[in-house]
Structure 1
Amino acid sequence: MIQVITDKDNWEKHISNFEVSDFYHTYDYHNIAKGDGQPQLLIYTEGTITIGLPLLIRKIPDTVFYDATSVYGYSGPLYKNLPANFDNTQFSQTLIEHFKSQKIITVFSRLNPFISEQHRVFHGIGTLEQKGVVVSIDLSKNITQQRTEFRRRLKGQLNKARRHLSIRVADDDGSYQQFVDVYWETMKRLNARPMYFFDDLYFKTLAKSESFETKTLLAIHNETGKTIGASMFIYKDSVVHYHLSGSKAEYKDLMPTKLLIDEMRIMATELGLDNLNLGGGLSSANDSLLQFKTSYSKNLLDFYVWKLVVIPDIYTNLIEKQGLKNEPDYFPLYRLEEI
């Protein structure tokens, strides 16, 4: 049986019943990050077993069909009372029947590297594909132990940054706007994809949600008093995520972003959290961004995505109709022209 949850009260009630969850699974985050999709939490029950799958349902343009995707970040399925010998045959059949009844052609979900049994939930259903790694700082170690794992160069850069910068927590509309301004300036300078240009409401809603905690930190240049860097971190239970960040190009030699991460590391350790997730490279690549993050930690976790073609013949027709060539790294392929 699949139950479709769309209202906040029931959504949050179900999320709270799962053994492990993250802020990416909450109603508020789905409502903030929905874009042109409609948030749905699918709840499957089989005896005492419960599985939850949050998705965004999107209309496929110029058709009567839909597809489903996950929010930006790390979501994937949640579970309760999942036995070690779980046979997901009935779950698979019920899930696919539900998607077909809703004319959903494809389903895509990013998985959460910190929720260990997600692979077993999806075993044999569609395709699980490793897309890279994420870097995590183990906060169960004390602050001094964590720092011993930093690269020597990073330690020197942090020492320099602390001589010139101060860190402040954004706690009012004015300071949140400073974060937004720095972030937007950075995205424009990097020619970032449109999906990264969030509006003011996005940031303000994240900051004020009661479903998770948001810490927005500002790096202040001591000599001028200017905000030269800003980072947003979000957590719900035991993992804090490095979510969004920006810095001013003219102060790049002071490494404000590196100091912001280090301050959050200390703060999160004092809060009793377990991990600081720095994420991976750009589009999961092994690039300079990933190398920057591994300067803090060599603790790498595999990052997977889940892909499911529910109705293969219609999926093929949609691709052929647009005359698209095969791009194995993009899914669903018929949306390739939207990026």
Structure 2
Amino acid sequence: MEIIPIEKKEKWNSTIKSFRDWDIYYLNEYACSLQLHGDGQPVLIYHEQNGGQLCYVMMQEDIAKFLPLSSYLKSDTYYDWTTPYGYGGPLTEGDITTEWVENFIRELSEWCRNHKIISQFFRFHPLLQNQRAIENVCDTVYMKKTVYMDTADKEIIFKNMTPNNRNMVRKALKYGVEIVKDKGERAEEFQNIYEATMRNNEAEDYYYFKREYFEYINHHMKENIIYFYAVYQGMPVSASIFFYNKKYMHYHLSGTLPEYRKLASANLLLSTAADWAAEQGIKEFHLGGGVGTEDSLLTFKKHFNRKGLLDFCIGRNIFDPQAFDELVSLRREKDQTFDDAKQFLIKYRA
């Protein structure tokens, strides 16, 4: 087993790209962008044994920086791991048996206890359904559905859309909405639209990304990123960022100016982006899910593929149960707002 630090960019990315189903969420640059966003220190966990290989990315955080506990913990006492924003979990190659995985988790647990890592939390990858690779050694929970589009060709894209969504696309075209794309040259316009959407939705602070974040991904991920804009009467009214490689594309961040929602510009934008993915030979376009288990955002996405629902699962490993319980007790004792009934897998962060 090897823990590869973020500084070893070439080794990190060559390791990731040696896996058949690698995705942008595993790239060194993607992890770096979230480190810049304040999500912790990225690490790549790699294990190889008897011809089998496994790897995944985690963001390491000092638990003392978690505000409800920060007054009661010294820094460098306890750490935990979380998959980067988006989706993660194990990439695997070769013969990964139950015994193989048990050996891996045993070795990893010992390493983590020696390095004060209390737990790890997974947001598994819906396209890969990779929770299956480690479900025998990981507490795994089904959360909700996400939506993907089959982008094998444009005919399939059109066929899988609901009649209502096709009508909305036609509506946008009738209004004169046009779609343009670039590699981030107008990122400031994107940021303005995105932030207006976040304010309208009363989003948490985490979902606001600073200009430095956009500058980083535009420069360091230019081969894996594309922006689409819906333009009405010369003004961008909807905008989206997509990440992609040769197999997968992902709906990353998006926004629509609230006063222009009636134009159905987001419907046209996503439909056009799906057609572009098909032109690039990308087979699957992941739209993600809703904020909750069943809400208007998920309903909107479901209109793009009636057959496109995927399971989204989360999971955890507790490497140091005693320290984990102590942190939960500390939170319960010191934080009057702590809701012990919340079903969080990493309970001290509930």
Q: Please give the root-mean-square deviation of Cα atoms over the aligned residues, in Å.
A: 1.8
Partner of 2:297: 289
Deviation at 1:203, TM superposition (A): 1.7
Partner of 1:55: 58
- 1:215 matches 2:226: yes
Amino acid at match of 1:79: T
> 1:1-339 counterparts in 2 under 5 A?
1-6=1-6, 7-34=8-35, 35-61=38-64, 62-63=73-74, 64-83=77-96, 87-116=100-129, 118-140=130-152, 142-163=153-174, 164-171=176-183, 173=185, 175-210=186-221, 212-221=223-232, 224-283=233-292, 285-298=293-306, 299-323=308-332, 324-336=338-350
SS of structure 1 residue aligned to 2:137: coil
CA distance in 2, matches of 1:212, 1:121: 29
SS of structure 2 residue aligned to 1:195: helix
CA distance in 2, matches of 1:27, 1:161: 38
Question: Percent of aligned pairs with the same residue?
Answer: 26
CA distance in 2, matches of 1:86, 1:158: 51
1:134-186 deviation digits (Å, cap 9, x = unpaired): 1111112x31232122222211111010122111113453x221111100111
1:281-322 deviation digits (Å, cap 9, x = unpaired): 114x11111111111112111111111121122111111112
SS of structure 1 residue aligned to 2:131: helix
Amino acid at match of 1:81: G
CA contact 1:139–1:276 (8 Å) conserved in 2:
yes
SS of structure 2 residue aligned to 1:88: helix
1:106-145 deviation digits (Å, cap 9, x = unpaired): 11011112224x23431322311111111111112x3123
Deviation at 1:36, TM superposition (A): 4.0
SS of structure 2 residue aligned to 1:43: strand
SS of structure 2 residue aligned to 1:169: strand
Q: TM-score, normalised by structure 2?
A: 0.89
SS of structure 2 residue aligned to 1:322: helix
Deviation at 1:237, TM superposition (A): 3.0
CA contact 2:183–2:222 (8 Å) conserved in 1:
no
Distance 1:329 1:260, change over 3 A: farther
SS of structure 2 residue aligned to 1:306: strand
1:61-111 deviation digits (Å, cap 9, x = unpaired): 124010110111011111221346764221121111111111111110111
CA distance in 2, matches of 1:68, 1:205: 23
SS of structure 1 residue aligned to 2:17: helix
Task: Name the count of aligned residue pairs.
Answer: 330
Distance 1:43 1:212, change over 3 A: farther
CA distance in 2, matches of 1:114, 1:329: 25
Structure 2 alignment gaps of length 5 or more: 65-72, 333-337
CA distance in 2, matches of 1:211, 1:55: 23
SS of structure 2 residue aligned to 1:4: strand
Q: TM-score, normalised by structure 1?
A: 0.92
CA distance in 1, matches of 2:154, 2:168: 18
Deviation at 1:206, TM superposition (A): 1.9
1:200-228 deviation digits (Å, cap 9, x = unpaired): 1212222233475111011110xx31111
Distance 1:85 1:191, change over 3 A: closer
CA contact 2:183–2:225 (8 Å) conserved in 1:
no
Structure 1 alignment gaps of length 5 or more: none
Amino acid at match of 1:226: M
CA contact 1:26–1:211 (8 Å) conserved in 2:
no
